[in-house]
Amino acid sequence: MKLGLIVNPVAGLGGTVGLKGTDGMAREALALGAVPKSGLRTLEALKMLESLREDLVIYTASGEMGEAVVRELGFACRVLWHSEKERVTDVDKDTTSREDTRQAAKKILEEGVSLLLFAGGDGTARDVYEAVGESLPVAGIPTGVKIHSPVYAVSPEKAGELARRFLRCEITGLKTEEVLDIDEAAYRQGHVETKLYGYLKVPDDARLMQGRKSGSLLSDESAQKAIALRVVDGMVPEMVYVIGPGSTTRQVMAALDLPATLLGVDIVCNRQLVCSDATEKNILAAISGKESRLVITPIGGQGYLFGRGNQQLSAGVIHQTGPENLMVMATLSKIQALQGRPLMVDTGDPALDRELEGYYQVMTGYRESIMYKVITS
């Protein structure tokens, strides 16, 4: 079996020395005395693959981008990409660049591996997404400072276990998760601006082997489709539906057999497309003087309804539509990943945020909903 591996060796460096992320800042971080942990945490993940040792070949990039940990554990290893800058701990040399990640990912994609494991944070996920898109199953080992993208497992061990079970075909389903990243320059200035960059396919671990006393749940993708059918079946004539971005909401467009804008907002009325990839202005124009609904889903691992990756749905848009006209959809696995934390809003308008606080019916299936709390961030 073939597994791809990319380690962003500088991931996480910024966090330990108070830099909010490491994008373009690795040298500063190292200079401040940051100790690279990404490789070590990757090691923890790879240890979970011990039982596959005999059949496994790991395709990776040179040195600290993967080769080093693979060799340390003695797995069969093929290096597909050689970075010119191999050592990060050496402050005098340049650290590996985003381009290295992208190039390595492309090579690994071409090699035809079953799964690509990558270690890093939101920036690394973006790079992987840019290289492979949704054409290769991937799983993230969380080693970075910023982990907003739910493409990451909750721990390196879990990432390793997920990979093992996927390689052994114990998990066969895939789900689509968002790649989010915040603008680090802005973040360091104290502004959070999260953008949705795309989607990656990750193994869907809804099935767990133990404890079967009752029926199981829909796979994530089926659950998304089921919720989308509910929205579509309930559509009211002449009502304007503003469909926000997200892997769940884009199933609404699929159920209508309409093209979905990958990362943007689409507007639908009478089951027809009114506007693709709508800007705030487009939306305001489309809903002006009409009854409308905002169809949204929490974006990213933090559970933001507004203010992360869907800035087009501005305070003005929400005012216009009315907070009572939100249709929130989310799969149970998304809710479960919140571990009891409420959903959040950050519209940039504190008064509106307060108005939006409260309980919402979140659609989780064709007939199933949950009452869930929303707070301001």
Q: How far apart are CA 336 and CA 103, in angstroms?
A: 35
Q: Tokens representing 126?
A: 């973006």
Give the DSSP letter of residue 297. -
Choices 54-62, 134-142, 192-200, 214-222 (CB under 8 A): range interacting with other proteins: 214-222
- Give min distance, CB of 89 to other proteins, in A: 26
Q: How far apart are CA 215 and CA 270, in angstroms?
A: 37
Supply the minimum distance, in Å, between the C-beta of residue 350 and other proteins: 22
Q: Which is nearer to other proteins, 233 or 238 (CB)?
A: 233
Longest Cα–Cα distance of the chain, Å, equals 66
- Contact flags string 31-60 toward other proteins, x per CB under 8 A: -------------x--xx------------
- The SS3 of residue 23 is coil
The number of C-alpha atoms within 13 Å of 291 and in the hemisphere containing its C-beta is 8
Rounded least distance, CB 360 to other proteins, Å: 8
Give CA–CA dist 7/72, Å, rounded: 14
* Contact characters 334-363, other proteins, x per CB under 8 A: --x--xx-----------------xx-x--
Place of tokens 């501005």: 314
Number of residues that bind other proteins (CB under 8 A): 50
What's the closest the beta carbon of residue 186 comes to other proteins, in angstroms?
32
Evaluate whether 298 touches 305 at the Cβ level (below 8 Å). yes
CB burial class (10 A; 0-12, 13-18, 19+) of residue 169?
exposed
Enter the tokens of residue 281: 């202005």
Single residue of 34, 77, 226, 327 touching other proteins by CB under 8 A: 226
Q: CB under 8 A: which stretch of 28-36, 68-76, 213-221, 343-351 binds other proteins?
A: 213-221
Q: Which residues bind other proteins (CB under 8 A)?
A: 44, 47-48, 155, 157, 161, 168-170, 172-173, 206-219, 221-222, 225-226, 229-230, 233, 332-333, 336, 339-340, 358-359, 361, 364-373
